[in-house]
Amino acid sequence: MPAQQETELDPVNVALVSIQDEVRIDFGWDLKYDLRSAIALQQSCLDVDAVKCATERLVTILQKAEEIVILGAAVEPEELLLLKENCQFVAADGSVGVFDELPPQIAQSAWGRLSLVVSDGDGGEAMLRASQQKIPFALHAHGDNQDEWRELLPVLKQNCPTLILTHQCPQPIEGMNNPGGFTDGDRAVCIVAACGIPHSKIRLIGFRSDKIGRWTGITDPVRKLRKLKWMEAVLDILRGTSF
C-alpha cells in the first residue's frame, strides 16, 4: 500500500467518517472495495505537492466568500434567482446543470461564481461543461465507481488546475482527503465545513431526502431513496456540530 499521511481536509466531526461504516453495513458493501478504488485513483494522478496546492487554493477561495450556496440534486432554477449576486456556489455533481436553465446573463454570472464541483463521476454532460471552464473539482472514489472516475479523470487532469481527491475509508491515504459524508451532496457540505467555513455562511438548496432530484444520475430509485436517508443523517450530524 502507498505511504500514508494525515488528511488535509479533516472532518469537523469524527462521526462524519464513522457513519461511513454504518452505510457499508446497511448496504452490505465491503471496505476493501472502497479502499481498492481509492488507491487506484491515487495512483492514477498522485502528485502530493499539486494536491496540497489545490487544497490550499480551494480553502482560500471559499474563505473569501460572504456566502456559499451548496446545490443539491433537487435544485430548481427559480431558487437561484432569489439569491444574492455575490454568493459563491458549490455544486454536487450534476446539479451544476441547473445553471444552463437560467437566463443567459445570470447563467454566465453563476458559472463565474462556481467555486467547486463535488463528483463521483456520474453527473453527465454538466461535468464536462464545468471542467472545460476550469472549475475546481473534488473527485471521489468509492467501491463501485471506478469506471466513472476513470472516464472523467483524464478530462479533469487536462482542464482543472485545482483538483482534489476524496475517499471514504477510515485510514488516511496520501494525497487524498476524507472530510466525511456519503453522497455527493452531503460530502460537499463536509468539504466546505472542513475548509473552515462556519454554519452562518453556508446555505443548502436542492437537498431533499423524500424525493429523487432531477439532476441525479441514472440510479435505482428504491436504493437511491435509501441513500438519501443516509444523506440526511450526515446533514443532521453537521447541524449538531459547532464549526
> What integer pLDDT is reported at residue 108 of this predicted model?
94
Report the predicted TM-score, pTM, of the whole model to 2 decimal places.
0.94
Residue 123 exposure: Cα atoms within 13 Å on the Cβ side: 31
Residue ranges covered by each domain of the chain: 15-239
Angle subtended at Cα 148 by Cα 147 and Cα 149, rounded to the nearest 5 degrees? 100
Taking only the tens of pLDDT, the chain with its 243 residues reads 333 344 479 999 999 999 999 999 999 999 999 999 999 999 998 676 777 788 888 999 899 999 999 999 999 999 999 898 889 999 999 999 999 999 999 999 999 999 999 999 987 788 888 988 899 999 999 999 999 999 999 999 999 889 999 999 999 998 899 999 999 999 999 999 999 999 999 999 999 999 999 998 777 899 999 999 999 999 999 999 999
Q: Phi, psi (5° rounding) for residue 128?
A: -65, -40
